[in-house]
Amino acid sequence: MERKPNVVFIFTDDQRFDAFGASGNSEIITPNLDRLVEKGTMFTHAHIPSGTSSAVCMPSRAMLNSGRSLYHIADCGQSIPMEHTTIAEVFRSNGYRTFGTGKWHNGREAYHRGFTDGDEIWFGGWFDHWNAPAFHFDPSGKYASTIPLISRPWESNEVTERPADHITPGKHSTDLIADASIDFIEKSNQEEAFYMYVSFLAPHDPRSMPKKYLDMYEGRKITLPENFTGGHSFDNGELYVRDEKLAPFPRTPENTLRHIKEYYAMITHVDERVGDIIKALEKKGILEDTIIVFSADNGLAVGQHGLFGKQNCYEHSVRVPLVFAGPGIPAKIQTDAYVYLFDIFPTLCELTGMKTPPSVEGKSFAGVIKKTEKEFRDKLYFGYKACQRAVKDRRFKLIEYVVDGRNNMTQLFDLQDDPRETRNLAFNTKHKEKVEELRGDMLKFRDEWDDNLETFGKTFWEGFSSR
């Protein structure tokens, strides 16, 4: 009987689509991710549909792990209900050991029903990377105890309680998660297939990392993005959300460059530990039997458009890295196929010969990987809370904004000629037909995705109709 392939899913937090070397970024140091790209297939246009919460990671992770679209997940992604089968559940029901470590953020019950093993599990409650509140694996699923943690200045000055059963002070979250992953690999049975969900908390702020990684950027040329500005040019409905308070207003080149350098250094730290995980697979003799998937929950502005967060529909926030490597995956391939993260679930099912659960809405892009399917999605839809909606085709993107109950701005970008989204063509008479065409597509997506049935949707569309 042919051995099932292992699957190692490596997920980072807030890593933008171009924040590694193989994407064409010569300023960042990511040799291990770059080698992974060399050995596999990279999707240059993988996306999230934005989010129903300012904590975009929650709906993003719920969509990924359930394979469902943005308005068909529960409570902004804080939990995944029983009727929505998770990736881990499918692997577990098909005889895999399932290991989860790091950031889960989608409910304890959903974690428990999917994973047979785990460690350093983060269900929520933020502190900092050197004092990460986490759980050891409990096969009973009773993750109930709490310990007092002192809130950080960006929260409050009070002592609060956060869910956890331990803290390992002085050890960075990236190292905790990587070491837990390596320990599982080393103790695994070579004949028993496994699925690993390795979900790093980095490079999410607060941006701290072992000093050696920051030192690697001393004297290294770091440049401001072409679309850097001192502030966003209009009210997008979310200018003062938490992420935007990480840097003073107006944004300055010096402060922004410091943030970029720290952001890159955190990713370099993750990259080194990803290399260690791959080495552990190789040492165990199972690397050639393992499909490795690398991606992230959302992008991040870090100065682009005068923004610092991911609470928007610009490319820097809705596009994420995505790499597949391993048995059956063509090497040294890049594809610009439009995919969503929630398409990964059915893709893994097809690649491993498992049946996709009926609750999954994503589309398998295994045919794109295997080169039996060239076209995939030709248009994509995005929605952020009650203030932003967007749609894009293979060349143009339309973004509509509703603030204070009215449609206060329309943007149209030619992504082919203006990939940094700096020139708004919406009010150019030459592009009037394109604006109306994409508005029509937006309305179709609204109905197909049940956007108009959600509280956020109703609020947005009522304001949109006031234009």
- Res 146: pLDDT: 55
DSSP β-bridge partners for residue 323: 42, 294
Query: The domain containing residue 415 runs over which residues?
Result: 380-464
Q: Please report, for the domain that includes residue 450, its CATH number.
A: 3.30.1120.10
Q: What percent of the chain lies above the pLDDT cut of 70?
A: 95
Inter-helix orientation angle 253-284/31-38, to 10°: 60
Please say if the pLDDT value at position 150 is more than 50: no
Q: What is the pLDDT of residue 157?
A: 40
| Whole-number pLDDT of residue 122 | 94
Whether residue 418 lies inside any domain: the answer is yes
Q: Is the pLDDT of residue 152 over 60?
A: no
Which two three-digit tokens encode residue 309? 């967060």
Range with the poorest average pLDDT among 244-248, 323-327, 373-377: 373-377
Q: How far apart are CA 77 and CA 68, in angstroms?
A: 11
Taking only the tens place, the pLDDT of each residue in 206-260 is: 999 999 999 999 999 999 999 999 999 999 999 999 999 999 999 999 999 999 9
Residue with tokens 């990713």: 267
Span 21-29, mean pLDDT?
A: 98
289 burial type by CB count under 10 A (0-12 exposed, 13-18 middle, 19+ buried): middle
Percent of the chain surpassing pLDDT 90: 88
Q: Phi/psi zone of residue 328: left (φ > 0), alpha (ψ -120 to 50 degrees), beta?
A: left
- Tell me, yes or no, whether 421 and 349 share the same domain: no
338 DSSP 8-state letter: B
For 242, the 3-state DSSP assignment is helix
Look at the chain and report how many structural domains it folds into. Answer: 2
Collapsing DSSP to helix, strand or coil, 209 comes out as coil
Same structural domain for residues 303 and 416?
Answer: no
281 within domain boundaries: yes
262-282 per-position pLDDT tens digit? 999 999 999 999 999 999 999
248 and 346 inside one domain: yes
Question: 3-state DSSP call for residue 199?
Answer: strand
Residue 81 lies in a domain: yes
270 to each of 46, 173, 199, 229, 351, how far by Cα in Å?
A: 20, 10, 11, 29, 27
User: Does residue 300 lie within any of the structural domains?
Assistant: yes
Domain CATH code at residue 226: 3.40.720.10
Q: How far apart are the first and last CA of the chain?
A: 63
How long is the chain?
A: 467
pLDDT of residue 322: 98
Q: What is the mean pLDDT of residues 178-184?
A: 98
What is the model's pTM? 0.96
Distance CA 254, CA 325 (A): 38
Is residue 1 included in any domain, yes or no? no
Tokens of residue 388, six digits: 């932003």
Cβ-Cβ contacts under 8 Å for 69 (sequence gap 6 or more): 49, 63, 340, 342, 361, 362, 449
Residue 92 predicted with pLDDT over 90: yes
339, 369, 399 - which closes a domain: 369
Residue 457 vs residue 439, higher pLDDT: 439
In a domain, 375, yes or no: no
Contact 269, 213 (CB under 8 A): yes
Residues 126 and 167 grouped into a single domain: yes
Would you say residue 160 has pLDDT above 90?
Answer: no
Domain assignment present for residue 182? The answer is: yes
145 with 75, same domain: the answer is yes
Same domain, yes or no: 156 and 222 = yes
Do residues 347 and 404 both lie within one domain? no
Residue 291's identity, in one-letter code, is I
Q: What does the block give as tokens for 346?
A: 């059915």
Largest Cα separation within the chain, whole Å, is 65
Band the pLDDT of 447: cuts 50, 70, 90.
Answer: very high
Q: Which of 12, 6, 17 is nearest to 334 (CA)?
A: 17
Query: Which is more confidently placed, 272 or 142?
Result: 272
Mean pLDDT of the chain: 94
Q: Tell me the C-alpha distance between 48 and 25, whole Å.
A: 21
Q: DSSP states of 321-365 as a string?
A: -EEEESTTPPSSEEE--BEEGGGHHHHHHHHTT-PPPTT------
From 309, 334, 369, the end of a domain falls on 369
Q: What average pLDDT does the segment 413-436 reach? A: 98
Query: What pLDDT does 156 receive?
Result: 39
Kindly report which listed range (35-39, 151-155, 164-168, 282-286) carries the lowest average pLDDT score. 151-155
Residue pair 434/412 in contact by the 8 Å Cβ criterion: yes
Contact 241, 311 (CB under 8 A): yes
Tell me which residue has tokens 């500005």. Answer: 229
Q: Which of 130-139, 288-297, 313-322, 392-401 has the lowest mean pLDDT?
A: 130-139
Would you tell me how many other CB atoms lie within 10 Å of the CB of residue 124?
Answer: 17
Contact (Cβ atoms closer than 8 angstroms) between residue 168 and residue 129: no
Same domain, residue pair 36 and 151: yes
Q: End of a domain among 337, 369, 401?
A: 369
